[in-house]
Structure 1
């Protein structure tokens, strides 16, 4: 145990040093790989489930599953303008317009769309339930205050309308990093053209299939992962995950923002 802790501390120190060197060096001096360590396991790609919230998924995938915001050093939600823009629509109830950047694309070539926001809302709102919630979400904070989302499947625009009298003060943190998962993957596995239509129609049979995948379909087992289920919309993507080599993240060639300064991160 002591050896592991010293090794972890060394990796963290090396990571900090590597980032510092990369930031002030020329392109030919880029650090090819850094190690990133924390005392937790990464057993799922979905940080929003109960198991995912207790795991290291949020630490591992913040720059893999990007959103409209990320946590700043003071714990505040900071806007991520690479993903798009957010604006409040004037009116008596809190209404927020989300515009996804035209270039925003997953590493498998599928465009980011308002479908991703609809899936995040459905999964984290707690509104889909029979005898128990269909989605095994760790928290419904903020998402349960949303009355509806206006979204045309595949579109880059979404209008989020909160329920009357239920304005969520920390709304800027919603649809942030690790909240948005690839809805097109969930739709494909569930056998439907998109997740938007059945969710907005409250088709419980189809939504249950989507929820079953959302709950367990993104489970990660070292040595047997299917990277086709793990497309990235961030500067890094998952390349491999084994007990011997850890979780390996590599630069995402489809990333439209500033390219990462380090080609590989080993968790």
Structure 2
């Protein structure tokens, strides 16, 4: 039986794009789940607008290619309509942290049981390299000839503060993405996964590779909120020399939005 979930669509990503690594990792994780008994129909994917969104064409899974910035609420709608569905959302840093930031914040609060992967190359690459909320200070492009003057957002800290029950960051490396996504799929609740990936055309950041260190290879306690916040502070998305922690920062189970809604409905029905 062929469990491949890749389509025959011709790729339009740039040669060497790190999105290929992310695609391969996601494909392998889902195909492993299918080999273990799940069906393709047990998964649903949602993508927004940007280079990341092309992954929708390459994965043969049910899903929706939605509006710019609206990946998170679309995932929530999928999950409410079909609670047993394994929903995975994909966004870029522009899609999630600019146009969709208000939805991202609410999903961390709600703890809806879906997984959200952010392809973060720190630029709007599809529209030729404009800065996003995570672009570093001093970055120069045609819209900012004097350099970006606003400090970048730290989305890992934001997700922790807003109550996300699973917070992770990875570099664009196959085995690490696979590990974090497999752990996220086991987690009951909202799982935020940021993948830091250089854009080979507009934001190379080749020094990334020398600066990463894996939290799971240290004594990091992923159930300790204060420790997770301290680790998140180590990289401010602008520094050129700080170490960059990757792996699972924080994980703690709590009631999902779907469970809370179900409990409320049961209570309402019992009073009738």
> Do both proteins adopt the same fold according to a TM-score greater than 0.5, normalized to the shorter chain?
no
Instruction: For CA contacts below 8 A with separation 6 or more, give which structure has more relative contact order.
Output: 1
TM-score of the two chains, using structure 2 as the length reference: 0.25
Instruction: Return the structure number with greater helix share.
Output: 2
